[in-house]
A = this chain, B = another copy of it.
Amino acid sequence: MTEEMEVLFEKLTAFYENRKYADLRILLLDMEPTDIAAFMEETLGDKDQIRFFRLLPKELASDVFVEIDSDTQEHLIKSFSDTELKAVIDDMFLDDTVDIIEEMPANVVKRILASSTPENRKQLNELLEYPDDSAGSIMTTEFVALSADMTVAQAFDKIRRTGINSETIYTCYVTDGKKHLIGVATVKKLLLSQMTDIIRDVMDDSPISVETLEDKEDVAMKLSKYDFLALPVVDKEGCIVGIVTVDDAVDVLQEEATEDIQKMAAILPTEKPYLKQSVWNIWKARIPWLLLLMISATFTSMILSGYEEKLTAKSAVLYAFVPMLMDTAGNAGGQSSVTVIRALALNEIEFKDIFKIIWKELRVSVLLALTVSIVCFAKLMLIDSLYNDISLSIAAIVSGVLFTTIVMAKFVGCCLPLIAKKCRLDPAVVASPFITTIVDALSLIIYCSVAIALL
Show the binding face of A for B, using Cβ within 8 Å: 1, 30-32, 34, 156, 159-160, 163-164, 169-170, 187-188, 191-192, 205-206, 208, 224-227, 229, 246-247, 249-251, 253-254, 257-258, 260-262, 264-267, 273-275, 279-280, 282-283, 286-287, 289-291, 293-295, 297-298, 300-302, 304-306, 308, 312, 316-317, 319-324, 326-328, 331-332, 334-335, 337-340, 342-343, 346, 348-350, 353, 356-357, 360, 363-364, 367-368, 371-372, 375-376, 379, 383-384, 387-388, 402, 406, 432-433, 436-437, 440, 444
Contact = CB atoms under 8 A, between A and B. Distances in A.
Given A160-B191, A383-B298, A327 B293 contact: yes
Interface centre among A274, A282, A343, A363 (most CB of B within 10 A): A274
A91 to B, nearest CB: 16
Contact of A261 (B251, B253, B261): B261
Contacts of A251: 224
B346 A254 contact: yes
B372 A291 contact: yes
A293 B349 CA distance: 29
A324 B353 contact: no
Contact of A301 (B192, B261, B384): B384
A232 to B, nearest CB: 14
30 contacts: A31-B206, A34-B226, A160-B191, A169-B188, A169-B191, A170-B229, A250-B253, A253-B253, A260-B261, A262-B342, A264-B264, A267-B335, A267-B339, A274-B349, A275-B356, A290-B332, A291-B371, A294-B327, A294-B328, A295-B379, A300-B324, A301-B384, A301-B388, A302-B320, A304-B323, A305-B387, A306-B387, A326-B326, A327-B440, A334-B432
Contacts of A191: 156, 159-160, 163, 169, 187
Nearest to A293: B331
B279 A297 contact: no
A324 B294 contact: yes
A437 B327 contact: yes
Q: How many copies of this protein are present in the complex?
A: 2
Contacts of A169: 187-188, 191
A197 to B, nearest CB: 13
B376 A286 contact: no
Contacts of A279: 360, 363-364, 367
A275 B339 contact: no
A275 B349 contact: yes
A338 B294 contact: no
A388 B305 CA distance: 7
A155 to B, nearest CB: 11
